[in-house]
Structure 1
């Protein structure tokens, strides 16, 4: 497939034009025009690039790409080494950030809900482009049981911060994969029993305790493995590309 055709296919599926983001979505570094082998991963790290070079990939497709707002503009140091590796080996880099978080079928939020058995009810921000979601479990469960479910699904033990007072059962849940911890106040204001995200901040502890909501920090990387993997599987199935998902370990 032509590299610009692949960008058009991805744009049609993910509709990046509908959401304001912190980075460019689509083809970020142009390489070979003809794409047969695609490597997917959460972040365009040097380790992922090195693997793509090793297997002869024509393109890398990631959730966390390059050229973020506020980052130094000069192509030097770590950024320079990564981009030189791509250019030298004629590898295309495609990145999709928030559009992949919110996609109702392949998105990080949607895939996390499926993994954890949460029925999606809507967006916490009240519109289809909301990057935080809310939903309901099929049956109430204790915080310990939910923590165990998260641990089993994501292969890592989450950090659980319980509200002050009674350890109430959990039926309703809000969530936002990655660095979405600050949506906890919105989740609490909706009267939800729990909120799940990837990262945690010092202030999150007090919000959970004082606003009466369970909080589970399950890891930025761990909560965002599944959208990019699903997107690659969709590309392979619908467009016949050779796609390999590579999970570069990240404890954060």
Structure 2
């Protein structure tokens, strides 16, 4: 069983609607490979290690959250970029990438998957007036201690999160953004949210947390964006006649 490259491209475009979201890279098909697709590998980043694993798995397509051709990057095809593209082209592997559209999808997206894993209820946008808010907010069903939340996050993601405990003793409201969303902490604080969770941390983030009285947790960019690609692959396997395998390339950052 297989589908055409164009069929997969149309299926993903209809599901993730990238045209509705302004992004930093092209979403959809980034590198053209085989016309017919039987096997898809999903993962977080189209690194050389993931490409090599896809080749070994006999994939016709690689579907990732972090692809190529970012705004502002050097456009020349040399070194690492040349080796990655060469491996994809020589092995006739299609590369599909969805960045922000995969972050914000209401059920399969990275943020939606984190809400499920952390037991966050009533998820909605943090950016007021933006229907495609990258950052989200919600509540816990019952108030929790910061230590209980830290334990839940560490065990769920398999990480040892960086934590700044500067909020209230009991936590009800929470905001979050997968990946490098630390800049949203000020919006969370302005809305009197108890806790902000993201992947990365900047030097100024800790000062903001302390001075605004909000708890902050950075659980890793890769770890917080692992589950969108996995969920998307599982959805594809349920709806299309293709084999899909999620491959996680460990990354502590």
Equivalences, count: 250
Q: Look up the match of 2:145.
A: 142
CA contact (8 A) 1:120 1:133 kept: no
Q: Look up the match of 1:122.
A: 124
CA contact (8 A) 1:196 1:217 kept: yes
Q: Look up the match of 1:245.
A: 246
- Matching of residues 66-215 of structure 1 within 5 Å: 66-126=68-128, 127-163=130-166, 167-215=168-216
Q: Distance in 2 between matches of 1:59 and 1:36?
A: 8
CA contact (8 A) 2:115 2:123 kept: no
Q: Look up the match of 1:18.
A: 20
Q: Look up the match of 1:65.
A: 67
Q: Distance in 2 between matches of 1:108 and 1:140?
A: 24
CA contact (8 A) 2:168 2:214 kept: no
Q: Segments of 4+ in structure 1 off by > 2 A?
A: none
Q: Distance in 2 between matches of 1:203 and 1:120?
A: 29
Unpaired segments of 5 or more residues in structure 2? none
- Matching of residues 40-51 of structure 1 within 5 Å: 40-51=42-53
Q: Distance in 1 between matches of 2:11 and 2:49?
A: 27
Q: Distance in 1 between matches of 2:156 and 2:92?
A: 37
Q: Distance in 1 between matches of 2:68 and 2:51?
A: 13
Q: Post-superposition shift, 1:167?
A: 4.6
Q: Distance in 1 between matches of 2:147 and 2:62?
A: 38
Q: Post-superposition shift, 1:168?
A: 2.1
Q: Distance in 2 between matches of 1:18 and 1:55?
A: 33
CA contact (8 A) 1:113 1:120 kept: no
Unpaired segments of 5 or more residues in structure 1? none
CA contact (8 A) 2:177 2:198 kept: yes
TM-score under structure 1 normalisation?
A: 0.98
SS at match of 1:119: strand
Query: RMSD in angstroms over aligned alpha carbons?
Result: 0.8
SS at match of 1:113: helix
